[in-house]
Structure 1
Amino acid sequence: MNVEVVAKYLSTLPEEDDHPYRTGPWRPQTTEWDAVDLRVVEGEIPGDLDGVYLRNTENPLHPAFKTYHPFDGDGMLHIVGFRDGKAFYRNRFIPTDGFLAEQEAGGPLWPGIAEPVELARRDYGWGARTLMKDASSTDVTVHRGVALTSFYQCGDLYRIDPYTGDALGKADFAGGFPTDLGVSAHPKVDGTTGELLFFNYGKQAPYMHYGVVDERDALVHYVDVELPGPRLPHDMAFTENYVILNDFPLFWDAEMLKHNAHIPRLHRDLPSRFGILPRRGGSGEIRWFEAATTYVLHFTNAFEEGDEIVLDGFFQGTPEPTDAGTADGMDPRWQRFFRYLSLDGMQTRLHRWRFNLSTGQTHEEQLSDSLTEFGMINPSYAAKDYRYTYAATGKPGWFLFDGLVRHDLHTGSEQRYAFADGVYGSETAMAPRIGSTGEDDGYLVTITTDMTADASYCLVFDAAGLADGPVCKLQLPERVSSGTHSTWAPGSELRRWRD
């Protein structure tokens, strides 16, 4: 393995840090690396694996004013590329406006999600609640051969070269970017049409918007989505002809919001609502369907079946956990604070909703008893009837992934792989092999944080044989901070990949 240090950054975090999500598996990095010819620890790199695995990560350089939340950290993009039976790794901080301003100031300038907005040391900011740092640390997708990083409470989209990690500036949408609210995390790319579908949300009516960016990167559709008040949507889904938005009953307490305090509450007397809109439809064409009260962080896929829209995602049985959780080794005060993060705390299970466009009725069912989340599918099957979801299991009480599950939606069977004790994974992307002929004809790629070995590895699994363990294990230059959202971009969709 040939390794080069690209840059080192100064951190102002306390040397004796005791925060559970800035230490241990979440210990942030301060070094950017380039590494080629990664060392194969086990197995061999598949010759028909061609493209890049991208993972976004919260990676703080500065402390919070009072209370750090793991979603507050600066964005860092990790890249593992595969080509001709070899692999490389790069990681880069995402140079957002907020990141650069705090680097210049040498400390924090904006409050995090668990802090009052009045603490901001600048009179401007980003995010649905305003006066937050635009960390762009939540999600990553690839549109027109360029990686786009995004922030869960809306902001600018940052363009990154998915091969080199070089910053390419902000998304502009041919002058149509919605600068007032920006774009939420989890915009969707339709590989068939080349379109980017997105939403945003805020505290002013109509409270949500939906937009379409075409294959030439121009904003061609942008409409209001009227909601009863400020909401906290996190994801969306799409089919061949429709987009599915949501209005879940977990949102900021209205009385507290009058005092500019952003405290989420579950409104148990309200149903979940799903808004279905033609992909180029107007505001008046949206149809709302009611369902059981819950909150959903992530959907896996949606498709059309006759008169019905079928939507799959992770239903939370306990959207507002009341107990402190069961996080071994965590200070009880932190357990109470972070009880919304663990999969066992929220009781997340794969779920299916069916919305009948003829009758207006909703039918829903639980698809699995297993507690999983952060599901990924073969990207070639987005908006199509599909069979497999590859999801993560969680360490009890913690925001850490301790294994993988392959859900077979046709038979209900599951394949499982558990990481060793002290090893934690990332959202696992599905990478179809070159010339693949089936939905599970490809590989699963993830990055692990190994506390026992004080190292990180990239693992590659055969998607059809997850339970058999990884077919390849590659060592990275250093132990990387635990992280979540990822994507896969095949080499055929990347500019100058073969150059």
Structure 2
Amino acid sequence: MTEQTAEATPFWLTENFAPVHEEVTATDLKVTGTIPSALSGRLLRNGANPQSGWSDHWFLGNGMLHGVEIRDGKANWYRNRYVKTPFFLKPDADVMESLGDMNMSTANTNVIHHAGKIMALEEGHWPFVVDDQLETVGPNNYAGKLTGPMTAHPKTCAATGEMLAFAYSMMEPYLTYYRISASGELLQVEPITVGAGTMIHDFNITRNNVVFMDLPALWNLEGIADSGLPIVWDESYGARLGVMPRNGSDKDVTWYEINPCYVFHPLNAYEDGNKIILDVCRMEDAMKPGSEAPPMLYRWVIDQDKGTVSETQLDDRVVDFPRVCDTVVGLKNRYGYAAAFAPNLPVAAGLIKYDLDSSSSSYHDLKGGQGSEAVFVKDPAGSSEDDGWVLSYVYRPETNQSDVVIVDSRHFDQEPVATIHLPVRVPAGFHGNWVPDGY
């Protein structure tokens, strides 16, 4: 553990970013308002929560899952559990020295469900399966077919149920594409040729294609001195988007140059004739010493006939953790949701709903609360894309406890229809999802 003074304590170990260490189970949670009866499942969220109390970077702490079960208009329980991987079971291990051992995952970035499994993910190791009570089951290497890491941001196709994913590496192959069937079988492992090992946090899918983002955040051990991660910003590498048919191979990738930038998270992508539309939270750079480039919503349009990419800024507010309704992932979407960041901290002061057809938006003010990723849950009885609710964990500094707010997407700027009060603090974290009953 690195020696630090109190004055040098980094933000990810202070205030609501600081880890919690007790695993709690609380039942019969207090609710203000009325929980929609159609909500039946669990709101899960993952984040870095170093068991030692220290980590050299926000991205490197042990994964801890937080969950609230909702059914029949009631909030049945809240629980938090460490993801008990071999890395957790060896408290003195160094995650940066464990990148070759696919079991040694922090499992701290995302939590998803696919093919009957709930999985906690990070991007340097295998996914780890947990049960619906958040207890760790073990790694998923897809019957031995997954020999390397897998991204924390796979995409489940709304039309086919396939899960599409990738991995990046410091050694060749620097990029590998995965295609997983709706039943959970790893069907395709495809190395993709890129110029160097780069940090590729996320990617894009459409109905017929995947789109890789090959951007100039390069693996280099010299970066540890500046950011705590072995990554450096090098614009001389260039930046480009690679379009490949979803069942294609390396030879089928078409690359399109773009202006140097970085994207941690896209909102969605879809096809419009022979054009591909991508809405992303774009940053001017990442891991660049002295730079604090904020993410803002941009649109890229890839014209496959002309071989060009146009770039348009859609909003000048600082936003990230973008989401769409799961039924339109990779398809044309009208609406999107994002966290509107508070000044100088990666927490949400409010939530934004975008109407991308009318170029308008609505704002949900968290009124002093600190929110997290806005997860959209579709109303099963709804007919339009935005018939549903947006859920988010929200920290309340005045009580040092957290809530789950449930906002009606159709009345987004109004008060939540329900607030579930938790007896504990849920630290600021990364990504989560709604896992419906019968997943």
TM-score normalised by L of structure 1: 0.81
The SS at the match of 1:227 is: coil
Specify whether residues 136 and 474 from structure 1 end up closer, same or farther in structure 2 by C-alpha distance, changes over 3 A only. same
Q: Structure 1 residues 296, 396: CA separation in 2 closer, same or farther (over 3 Å shift)?
A: same
Corresponding residue for 2:134?
165
- The residue type equivalent to 2:136 in the other structure is A
Q: Which runs of 5+ in 1 are unaligned?
A: 1-12, 103-107, 112-116, 324-338, 340-344, 495-499
Change in 2 beyond 3 A, CA 1:132/1:147: closer
Deviation at 1:443, TM superposition (A): 0.3
> Is structure 2 residue 193 aligned with structure 1 residue 226?
yes
Matched, 1:176 2:145: yes
> Counterparts of 1:241 and 1:352 in 2: how far apart (Å)?
19
Provide, for residues 189-243 of structure 1, a one-character-per-residue CA deviation record: whole Å limited to 9, x for no partner: 2243221211111122231100111122221111111111111110011111111
1:58 aligns with 2:48: yes
Q: Does the CA contact (< 8 Å) of 2:102 and 2:149 recur in 1?
A: no
Q: What is the CA distance between 1:275 and its match in structure 2?
A: 0.9
Helix, strand or coil at the partner of 1:147: strand
CA distance in 1, matches of 2:394, 2:200: 29
Determine whether 1:109 maps to 2:93. Answer: yes
CA distance in 2, matches of 1:296, 1:46: 35
Match of 2:121 among 136, 150, 156: 150
Secondary structure of 2:306's counterpart equals coil
Partners of 2:88 and 2:222 in 1: CA distance: 33
Query: Residue in 1 aligned with 2:392?
Result: 446
1:167 deviates by: 1.9
SS of residue paired to 2:59: coil
Deviation at 1:350, TM superposition (A): 0.9
Matched AA of 1:280: N
What are the equivalent positions in structure 2 for 1:70-469 lying under 5 Å apart?
A: 70-87=58-75, 88-102=77-91, 108-110=92-94, 125-126=98-99, 134-152=105-123, 154-161=124-131, 163-178=132-147, 181-253=148-220, 263-319=230-286, 323=290, 345-421=292-368, 423-469=369-415
Distance 1:16 1:320, change over 3 A: closer
Please tell me whether the aligned partners of residues 174 and 217 of structure 1 are also in contact (alpha carbons under 8 angstroms).
no
Partners of 2:288 and 2:215 in 1: how far apart? 16
**Cross-structure match for 1:478:** 424
Q: Tell me the percent identity.
A: 29
User: Is the Cα contact below 8 Å between 2:334 and 2:357 reproduced in 1?
Assistant: yes
In structure 2, do the counterparts of structure 1 residues 366 and 399 end up closer, same or farther at CA, with 3 Å as the change threshold? Answer: same
TM superposition shift of 1:137: 0.1
Amino acid of the structure 2 residue aligned with 1:309 = I
Q: Secondary structure at the match of 2:413?
A: helix
- Contact 1:349/1:370 (8 A) holds in 2: yes
* Gap change, CA 1:16 and 1:271, over 3 Å in 2: closer
* Structure with greater strand percent: 2
Return the alpha-carbon distance in structure 1 between the equivalents of residues 215 and 301 of structure 2: 17
Structure 2 regions of 5+ residues with no counterpart?
A: none
**Relative to 1, partners in 2 of residues 1:255 and 1:136: Cα closer, same or farther, differing over 3 Å?**
closer
1:370–1:19 distance in 2 versus 1, CA, 3 Å: closer
Amino acid across the alignment from 2:15: G
Deviations 1:330-358 (Å, cap 9, x if unpaired)?
Answer: xxxxxxxxx6xxxxx32211111111222
- What per-residue deviation string (whole Å, max 9, x for no partner) do you get for residues 9-41 of structure 1? xxxx9997944322211121222222332111x
Report the TM-score when normalising by structure 2.
0.92
Give the letter aligned to residue 306 of structure 2.
T
CA distance in 2, matches of 1:377, 1:54: 17
2:13 counterpart of 1:46: no
Aligned residues: 433
